[in-house]
Amino acid sequence: MRQLLHIFKKDLRRLWPLALICWSMVALHASHRWLLLAHLLNAPLKVVMGTEMFAGLTPLFWWFLLVFLIHQEPLCGDRQFWITRPYSRWSLLGAKLLFVAVAIQIPVLLSDAFLLSSAGFPPLLSTLLVRNLYISVVVLLPVAAFAMVTSGIGQVIATGLAFVAGMILWVNYTVMFGLGRYEGLEWMLQVTAAILLLAAGGTVAVLQYRFRKTTHSRAIVLGAALILAVVAHLFPWSKAFALQAALTGGGPRPEIQIALDRNGAKSGVQRRATHSTYEFVEIHLPVRIEGLAQSMELVSDGVKLTVIASGGQHWEYGPTSNMSLMRSASSTWMRLHLDNRFYQRFRSTPVNVSLSMDATVFRNHHTATVPAGTWSFVPGVGQCASDVSRVACVGPTGTLGRIETVWRNRETGVMSAPEEVRSRGAYVSLPLVSWLNPIPNGAFTISNIDPQDLAATDIVYTVKYPVAHIQRELKIDGFRMEEFRIP
């Protein structure tokens, strides 16, 4: 312990300016976030920009601090002065962990507690610790692993630039080919990535600080990066959805069926102009949902589309959340994506269509009515404020469910149409990272309220929770794609 504290004090003497900058950045971000929460609907532009700036810059200073901290005693090579000293490797690793806790983790913990308390939410220690651990594993540990297998800042910068270039290519590939995630199941990918990063980073730390096996460690870092990219790209969303359905359990599942709405197709109400994006054509297929109770709502998580044309030629896409179930006040349709070349070739030819949809059933859980133009606590939502055209809410990470709002005039009884202010949260309540913000906020446009009627108007929030996860299929024979395209 004495040697650990000695190394810690040595690092503190050398790196205190950078540690002070990290403390200041966390404090500045927390103060700007506090001002943003205090003025949800009318925050000054400089506060908004300052919040985003500090949210982006703070992790950069953390990463610089980690690199300089670990490179105080470089782990690559065999000509460093420190290896001639009677250092215990575990004392050295413990000193680095202690420094990270003092310079980064404790300030983040205090910042989260301050922001939660300021917004009226109890700062539970277990929630704060889970968030802090997740940030450490996902944000800090990868950079620390890079620093452990490099011998200078130049190698770190080169590796970082290569990583950024790879990320840009991967994001462009994702956008180009329409790869979509299941929003409610993001927690599974996050947990999977965190476990992978923890296993790889922990192994590298042990290999470097205990055995200094740089070649093996570099292979692990590279392998973990490749595996993470593959997992993010090929994550089995449909199988994960089936697992989520098994975890949810509960009572009997509603007998819901989906069918083609032939009348809707003929009326043309659901016929929407298609458009091409990255060689994809979008078609809106009118459907009818049967067996859905009035208090329930069906939300698609992902859709897989298979189109078989003459001669056995086919187009397959998904499962992806980029194809989804859509609805308006009077109609429901499936938004589908087709390869433009396939569509042009077979648009007038009867084809067989097979749709497989993973969907979640939401049930109205409760409603809350609060006066418009006030700051109020809404159960299941968080703290909300409103004016004549917007609703803004803040709530701690880990909340789940869909939220709809309507405004209602108490004197005339006039109501607006329901408007969605949050599509869904995770299907489990986990306080995972939302970057540096423990209480994400959002402002949403609603139907305008007459300013003269604001004092006599209530905002009605309807909170819907998931009650079942179902998988349904729809098969259509003799389908002509061009019938659903408006020239």
Q: What is the DSSP letter of 270?
A: T
pLDDT value of residue 270: 35
Query: Residue 486 — pLDDT band, cuts 50, 70, 90?
Result: very low
Percentage of the residues of the chain whose pLDDT score is greater than 70: 89
pLDDT at 104: 97
Whether the per-residue pLDDT at 273 is higher than 60: the answer is no
Query: What residue ranges define each of the domains in the chain, with the CATH number in brackets?
Result: 2-235 (no CATH), 257-362+470-484 (2.60.40), 363-466 (no CATH)
What residue ranges in 263-295 does DSSP mark as E strands? Answer: 276-277, 280-290
> If 0-12 CB within 10 Å is exposed, 13-18 middle and 19+ buried, where does residue 28 land?
middle
Average pLDDT rounded to a whole number, residues 192-221: 93
Query: What CA–CA distances, in Å, run from 238 to 255, 319, 326, 477?
Result: 20, 7, 20, 24
Tell me what percent of the residues of the chain surpass a pLDDT of 90: 38
302 pLDDT higher than 60: yes
Pair of tokens at residue 22: 């990290």
pLDDT tens across 104-117, in order?
999 999 999 999 99
What are the CA-CA distances from residue 484 to residues 122, 285, 475, 487 (Å)? 52, 7, 17, 10
